[in-house]
Structures are given as C-alpha cells and as structure tokens.
C-alpha cells in the first residue's frame, strides 16, 4: 500500500482521464468499467472547479497492454512522444526567429 501512495506523489506517475483518453485511445466508458472492476485506482481532483479523475499511469498502461496488446501500447506512446517533440520544435523555431530578428536589429544599430 505504501508503494501505491508513493505513486500518487511521484512526478509523471499519474495522469488525468482526459490524457488517458487522448494518449492511449481509451474511452471514458472503458475507464469507468476498469475502475468498477478494480483494475484502475483513481482520485477525484478538480482544477478551477472542473472535476476530473487522476489515474495511475502504470495501471492505465497495463490496462491498454492487456486490452489492445503491447504493439498498440508502444505505437500510442510513440505517437504521443512525436506530438510532444513536434510542439517543442515549433516553439523553438518561433524562439529562434524572434532572436534572429532581435539580432539583426542590434547589428543594424551597431552599424549606424
């Protein structure tokens, strides 16, 4: 039980039901059925008054692995990681463009 409690505190060990649906292709109904069957532990949280379920990532991964297979789980994780990388690259490109613009303005000021 102590291991379960530490999982709730560890960064990245939990995810919301919305993230589980998006990242692992689960439906809300599948999540609720797994909770009722005792396969998923949850905690009820809310942000700005909006309630959501907090789930343990390792249990969600085990559920997806059992339901859809290991290949599906790896594929979903790869898609999620690729989307995260693409977002970061877009952010960095924007940052580089603004720095290049600032650099050219400073170079022009130095040249005058």
Domain match, 23 and 10 both: yes
Domain count, the chain: 2
Domain match, 10 and 43 both: yes
The pLDDT score that the predictor gives to residue 85 is: 97
Domain match, 47 and 81 both: no
Supply the range of the domain harboring residue 111.
Answer: 70-112
The pLDDT score that the predictor gives to residue 12 is: 87
Average of per-residue pLDDT values in the chain: 91
Domain match, 10 and 63 both: yes
Question: How large is the average pLDDT for residues 11-15?
Answer: 91
Q: Give the pair of three-digit tokens for residue 53.
A: 């379920």
Domain match, 64 and 76 both: no
Domain match, 107 and 97 both: yes
Give the pLDDT confidence of 44-96 residue by residue, as tens digits: 999 999 999 999 999 999 999 999 899 998 999 899 899 999 999 999 999 99
What percent of the chain is predicted at pLDDT more than 90? Answer: 77
The pLDDT score that the predictor gives to residue 6 is: 81
Domain match, 103 and 54 both: no
Domain match, 82 and 48 both: no
């Amino acid at each position: 039980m102590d291991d379960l409690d530490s999982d709730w505190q560890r960064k990245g060990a939990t995810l919301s039901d919305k993230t589980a649906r998006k990242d692992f292709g689960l439906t809300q109904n599948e999540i609720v059925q797994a909770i009722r069957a005792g396969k998923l532990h949850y905690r009820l949280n809310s942000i700005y008054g909006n309630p959501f379920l907090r789930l343990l990532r390792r249990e969600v991964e085990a559920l997806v692995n059992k339901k859809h297979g290991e290949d599906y789980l790896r594929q979903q994780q790869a898609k999620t990681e690729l989307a995260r990388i693409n977002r970061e690259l877009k952010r960095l490109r924007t940052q580089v463009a603004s720095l290049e613009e600032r650099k050219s303005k400073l170079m022009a000021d130095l040249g005058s």
